[in-house]
Amino acid sequence: MIKTKRRGNLIIISGTTCAGKGTVIKKLLEKHDTMELSISYTSRPMREGDIEDVTYHFVTKEEFEEMIKQNAFLEYEKVHYGQYYGTPKMEIEEKLENGKDVILEIDVKGAQNVKSMFPETILIFIMAPSMEIVKERIKERGAENPEQILKRFEVAYREINEVNKYNYVVVNDDLNVAIQKVEAILLSEKCRVDRIEEIFVENKEEIIHEFLMQKEFDNKIKRID
């Protein structure tokens, strides 16, 4: 009886360092072929292990700045070492119109920029169980010096203080449970009343409805008599 809108949902998943948001997203994409990850543009050079149009869309600084002039990004940022990162507008719009749910993995600042342009965006924040666990996970990587670790902590604390700007928060203390929670969030969003395009009834249902309405009318007439 209910026809829902075909347009997909725009989903932002952010999280603190070592919270496991990348793993959560990877598992969601593996399980749901209706979901796609938005690939960002960047002006930084390709590194070992990067794959064109998979890791990023790689362009020059001049090309990126031209795209900025053309208003091609939902949001973009120039990071401290001078390289650009941006979320493409047209590619995302096309996927949404084709019924795909599009996931953006971006930071808190970028999330707020996108939300201002697309108020219907679903914002989900992934958190580690504790900062102590974050510290242990960073140490396990063994790829950063104490100064870099401290910087990560500063950013993490700053982002946690912005969590009230999100629609949902999921603590990733168990990966499978965290994924189930995100899936439940997205399923509930599909059931929102504002996603209803129209309500319709079939012929048999119309006949039953008319019969009930007529019977109610007849009963009222009898009571008056």
CA 88 → CA 18, 73, 104, distances in Å?
26, 5, 10
Helix axis angle, 131-141 to 146-160, nearest 10°: 150
Amino acid at 34: T
pLDDT digits (tens, 9 = 90+) for 47-69: 889 999 999 999 999 999 999 99
* Cα–Cα distance measured from residue 113 to residue 79, given in angstroms and rounded to the nearest whole number: 16
| Mean pLDDT across 29-55 | 94
In which element (H, E) is residue 146 found?
helix 146-160
| Mean pLDDT across 212-218 | 59
pTM score, two decimals?
0.80
Q: Is the pLDDT of residue 198 over 60?
A: no
Those residues whose C-beta lies under 8 Å from the C-beta of residue 1, and which sit 6 or more positions away, are 199, 200, 201, 205
pLDDT digits (tens, 9 = 90+) for 123-173: 999 998 888 887 777 777 666 677 777 777 788 888 888 899 999 999 999
Q: Which of the 8 DSSP states describes residue 45?
A: P
* Cα–Cα distance measured from residue 129 to residue 126, given in angstroms and rounded to the nearest whole number: 10
Q: Which structure tokens are listed for 11?
A: 């989903």
Query: Would you give the distance in Å from CA 203 to the centre of its chain?
Result: 39
- Domains annotated on the chain, with CATH: 2-37+100-224 (3.40.50.300)
Q: Is the pLDDT of residue 187 over 70?
A: yes
